[in-house]
């Protein structure tokens, strides 16, 4: 993976619409939900405006911050319904990658000296721990050992890890589920974005580094000569490594690149389970359900004026998407789909 050039890229303004619709074969009397659909405010990212739309209108609703500072929206719909639609609609400015971060002393330090346990960094230490069930397997440790050689600068090791995952694993939509474990992905050498992010995190944690799971969106361009198709994008996931100056360096192994002005960050945690786009519980006699997911990430200047902006009424119908892997009609759980690589 090549490090981005020092040429200044422009700040990009995107409109993001992420819609999830659940259709049930019976009446739902009560729906509880919690969603992460509001982008974060970051040094390189500013939320111009954002809202979460829910239909039917919730009887109870609140917005707050979770333990990691992510914006979450809780809702309770008591109106009987057979269709539930939840949409996050935002306009976001994203700056190009901070070149100073890449050449900083913290990024260039030998990776062994960037371990929170060495520096006594208690907050970051949480992101070094293995998950339950364990993700740090012998196969992961062996894979990481080839990258994190003695004395290697941290940024160099991380860019190498990004490239290795990109070249050693095959992106295959639908090949895994949210429940698929890292050891399975390591054995099959295929998966989607959240799988590659989790492989990267397991590698970081296997050598004592702090790794963070980040979720959001990736702006993609239509093929040459093709028009942009509304809703054809996908949610995305990547990883980030902690630096000794208490900053984080995010990287995208699915696309063999550092996270830049094409990425919109929504939430982060230790793993996908900390920040699913939408999750909840319903009360119903329905025996089956269907899920449709639509994601559109569009440079604001190029957006179709016929589609709604923030503050406009309604969100366009979502095209049919594949059902959520391991889905349960009684559980609202919007699995992150893999990206369309640019």
- Give the number of residues written for the chain: 342
Q: Are residues 253 and 267 in the same domain?
A: yes
Secondary structure of residue 99 in the 3-state scheme = helix
Whole-angstrom distance, CA of residue 256 vs CA of residue 160: 9
Q: Are residues 236 and 88 in the same domain?
A: no
180 pLDDT higher than 50:
yes
* 220 lies in some domain: yes
134 pLDDT higher than 90:
yes
- Per the structure, the complete domain to which residue 34 belongs is given by 12-94+276-333
pLDDT-derived band of residue 303, with 50, 70 and 90 as boundaries?
Answer: confident
Instruction: Give the model confidence (pLDDT) of 141-174 as tens digits.
Output: 999 999 999 999 999 999 999 999 999 999 999 9
Secondary structure of residue 218 in the 3-state scheme = strand
Q: Are residues 24 and 134 in the same domain?
A: no
- Domains identified in the chain, total number: 2
Q: Are residues 155 and 258 in the same domain?
A: yes
Q: Are residues 131 and 197 in the same domain?
A: yes
Q: What is the mean pLDDT of residues 250-279?
A: 97
Q: How far is residue 40 from each of residues 50, 72, 94, 262, 337, measured CA to CA in Å?
A: 10, 10, 11, 15, 20
Q: What is the pLDDT of residue 2?
A: 52
* 290 lies in some domain: yes
* 210 lies in some domain: yes
Instruction: Give the model confidence (pLDDT) of 218-242 as tens digits.
Output: 998 777 777 766 666 889 999 999 9
* 7 lies in some domain: no
* 340 lies in some domain: no
Q: Which of 274, 291, 314 is the last residue of a domain?
A: 274
261 pLDDT higher than 50:
yes
Q: Are residues 131 and 32 in the same domain?
A: no
Secondary structure of residue 202 in the 3-state scheme = helix
Q: Are residues 146 and 243 in the same domain?
A: yes
Q: What is the pLDDT of residue 223?
A: 74
Higher pLDDT, 25 or 331: 25
* 5 lies in some domain: no
Q: Are residues 224 and 129 in the same domain?
A: yes
Q: Are residues 147 and 242 in the same domain?
A: yes
Q: Are residues 282 and 189 in the same domain?
A: no
Question: By C-alpha distance, which of 268, 274, 279 is closest to 69?
Answer: 268
Q: What is the pLDDT of residue 272?
A: 96
Q: What is the mean pLDDT of residues 194-220?
A: 97
Q: Are residues 119 and 262 in the same domain?
A: yes
Instruction: Give the model confidence (pLDDT) of 37-59 as tens digits.
Output: 999 999 999 999 999 999 999 99
| CATH at residue 64 | 2.60.40.2250
Q: What is the pLDDT of residue 307?
A: 59
* 51 lies in some domain: yes
Q: What is the pLDDT of residue 315?
A: 36
Q: What is the pLDDT of residue 5?
A: 52
Q: What is the mean pLDDT of residues 132-143?
A: 96
Q: Are residues 125 and 258 in the same domain?
A: yes
Q: What is the pLDDT of residue 220?
A: 86
Q: What is the pLDDT of residue 338?
A: 32
* 246 lies in some domain: yes
| CATH at residue 123 | 3.10.620.30
Q: Indicate the pTM of the whole model.
A: 0.87
């Amino acid at each position: 993976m090549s490090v981005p050039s020092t040429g200044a890229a422009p700040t990009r303004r995107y409109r993001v619409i992420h819609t999830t619709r659940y259709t049930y074969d019976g009446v739902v009397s009560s729906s509880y939900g919690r969603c992460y659909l509001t982008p974060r405010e970051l040094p390189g990212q500013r939320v111009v405006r954002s809202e979460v739309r829910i239909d039917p209108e919730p009887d109870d609703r609140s917005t707050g911050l979770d333990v990691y500072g992510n914006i979450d929206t809780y809702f309770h719909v008591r109106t009987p319904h057979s269709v539930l639609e939840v949409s996050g609609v935002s306009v976001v400015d994203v700056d190009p990658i901070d070149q100073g971060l890449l050449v900083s002393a913290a990024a260039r330090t030998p990776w062994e000296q960037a371990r929170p346990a060495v520096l006594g960094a208690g907050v970051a230490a949480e992101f070094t721990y293995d998950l339950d069930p364990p993700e740090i397997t012998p196969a992961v440790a062996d894979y990481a050992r080839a990258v994190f050689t003695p004395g290697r600068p941290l940024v160099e090791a991380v860019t190498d890890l990004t490239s290795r995952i990109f070249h050693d694993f095959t992106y295959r939509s639908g090949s895994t589920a949210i429940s698929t474990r890292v050891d399975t992905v390591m054995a099959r050498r295929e998966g989607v974005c959240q799988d590659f992010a989790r492989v990267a995190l397991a590698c970081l944690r296997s050598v004592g580094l702090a790794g963070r799971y980040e979720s959001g969106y990736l702006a993609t361009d239509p093929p040459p000569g093709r028009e942009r198709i509304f809703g054809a994008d996908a949610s995305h996931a990547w990883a980030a490594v902690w630096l000794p100056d208490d900053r984080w360096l995010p990287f995208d192994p699915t696309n063999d690149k550092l996270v830049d002005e094409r990425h919109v960050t929504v939430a982060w945690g230790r793993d996908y389970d900390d920040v699913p786009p939408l999750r909840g519980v319903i009360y119903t006699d329905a025996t089956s359900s269907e899920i449709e997911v639509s994601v559109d990430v569009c440079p604001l200047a190029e957006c179709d004026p016929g589609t709604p902006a923030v503050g406009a009424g309604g969100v366009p119908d979502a095209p049919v998407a594949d059902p959520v892997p391991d889905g349960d009609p009684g559980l609202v759980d919007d699995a992150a789909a893999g990206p369309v690589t640019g």
